[in-house]
Amino acid sequence: MDTKVIVIGAGVSGLCASYYLKETLGADAVLTLEAAPGPGGTTGSDRSAGYVLDWGSNGFLDREPLTLAWVKDLGLEQDTLKANTVAAKRFVYRNGCLHQVKMPPGFFLSPLLSLPGRLRLCCEPLIPQKRDEGEESIFEFAARRIGKEAAQIMVGAMVLGIYGGDARQLSMAHCFPRMVKMERDYGGLFKALMAIRKERAASPAGPPGTLTTFKGGIGALPARAAAALGDRIRFNAPVTRIAAIRDGYEVTVGEGETLSARAVVMATPAHAAAGMVRELHPEAARALADIPYAGLTVACLGYPRSAIGHDLDGFGFLVPRGQNLRLLGCIWTSTLFPFEAPDGSVLLRVMFGGAPDPDANHLSDEATIGLVRAELGPLLGITGEPELARLYRHPRGIPQYTLGHENRLKAIETAEKACPGLCFIGNAYRGIGLNDCVVSAHRAVETIQQRLD
């Protein structure tokens, strides 16, 4: 055997798994292969003209102990920076205006929903809980509990902001399993909120956490993790095939180089993993290939503060579909993290595309920037040209847990059982956030240790 474990993929999941496998098995026991020229996948950061530009995710919630432990182990703890407290203010665009999302009692006076829509939402405690085991989309769950208007405007916008997805297509049980459990345990969402607040003084979604990043942006995490792996990580090393051999696996790299290992951790996007295991486990390959992805375009715009008429007092805003805007939302980045823009300037992140509007990802750079300015300018009172404009395109940016995701997971789990030492990790399976990636990495580390023991 060339090594004990080969980790394929150097995104957050693969880097975390490699780091802790190296710690437990020794540096020479683990080899990481990455097709791209650098680490991080869609998680990275650039610096330009005093701005810090994140490619994809702009941080993580500081509520997952495993993530915080990894940050500490990497020596990044002193470099963490938490978002400004005004980030609690969030807005939704509707009928030509930005409306702050408020908790009761302020919610009842907000024009975000019509009066009938607000009254219907207030009826949530009276709605009986779901009794059958049939799968529901996010929209079906939300419409049943809080009404169609709230489902379309509030929940639809939230789903776009998190998944870039269509609430009518995504599985409630896999996207928001805690909410499903709340209904099952308490009979309703408001009842769960009251009970959990009384018991733990926490929100029903668990500890809220604070959005957190690093000096230099979220890209500091994969950069530091890759540095810790040293020469045991190889870039520009695409894997094309995985085959079973006696006591392990043979991995084909590039044009025909072969490596062997007792265990393999698949930390690539699902569609990439599908091609690698097509011969090894055809059923898993089909399930992996069936996990759809939503493309996303992120536009980072820097302006002099004097060019923005809006106060930018908050996290930003989301746009539900049907409001005659193509942008999905805008994050007021320099409000959250002032250090990410030069003094006297502001940084805005605008998202386009997603599952509902795939064509937006094929617009030219010029057309995309023009669309951003045309839609964002009137909302935020923007005058003049941006002093910085940078686009980040992710053709397959966010995995979509569509209806039927449970069956796909079962096929992948069956493959893991049939192929001891083979693990699939990453954001395509049980959570798309950075914290979820870290949790999945630890799951692989535990599984691999058991296999090698």
Angle at 275 between CA 270 and CA 277, to 5 degrees: 90
Is 348 a member of any domain? yes
382 shares its domain with 307? yes
| In a domain? residue 205 | no
The total of structural domains in the chain comes to 3
- Does residue 141 share a domain with residue 267? no
CATH (domain of 183)? 1.10.3110.10
- Does 409 lie in the same domain as 388? no
Positive/negative CA dihedral, 286, 411, 432, 232:
negative
Cα torsion 335, 336, 341, 346 to 10°: value is: -30
Same domain, 320 and 287: no
Is 79 part of any domain? no
| 251 and 306 within one domain | no
Residue ranges, the chain, pLDDT below 70: 196-208
Do 414 and 272 lie in a common domain?
Answer: yes
Same domain (yes/no): 318, 387: yes
Is residue 244 domain-shared with residue 260, that is, in the same domain? Answer: yes
Q: What is the pLDDT of residue 102?
A: 87
- Say yes or no: 219 and 345 in one domain: no
The residue among 54, 411, 365 whose CA lies nearest residue 222 is 54
> Using CA atoms, how far apart are residues 429 and 399, in angstroms rounded to an integer?
8
Does 175 map to a domain? yes
Tell me whether residue 96 is in a domain. Answer: no
Per the structure, the complete domain to which residue 319 belongs is given by 293-399
The angle formed by the CA atoms of residues 21, 27 and 33, to the nearest 5 degrees, is 75
Picking from 399, 416, 438, the residue at the C-terminal end of a domain is 399
Is there a domain that residue 320 lies in?
yes
In 348-431, alpha helices (H): 365-380, 405-418
- In DSSP terms, 26 is beta-bridged to none
Residues in the chain: 453
Residue 159's nearest CA partner among 171, 149, 147, 145 is: 171
CA nearest to 376, candidates 414, 339, 328, 417: 328
Q: What integer pLDDT is reported at residue 109 of this predicted model?
A: 86
- Pair 23, 69 in one domain: yes
Q: Is the residue at 226 inside a domain? A: yes
Q: Residue 192: its pLDDT value, please? A: 83
Domain boundary among 200, 232, 253: 200
Determine whether 448 is exposed, middle or buried from the number of CB atoms within 10 Å of its CB (0-12, 13-18, 19+): buried
At 132 the pLDDT is: 86
- φ/ψ of residue 96, rounded to 5: 85, 0
CATH code, 22: 3.50.50.60
pLDDT the model gives residue 131: 85
- In this structure, are 309 and 342 located in the same domain? yes
Is residue 82 situated within a structural domain?
Answer: no
The pLDDT value recorded for residue 197 is 61
Q: Tell me the per-residue pLDDT of 358-409, one tens digit each, with 9 for 90 and over.
A: 999 999 999 999 999 999 999 999 999 999 999 999 999 999 999 999 999 9
| pLDDT digit string, tens, across residues 187-216 | 888 888 777 665 544 433 334 689 999 999
Domain boundary (355, 377, 399) is at 399
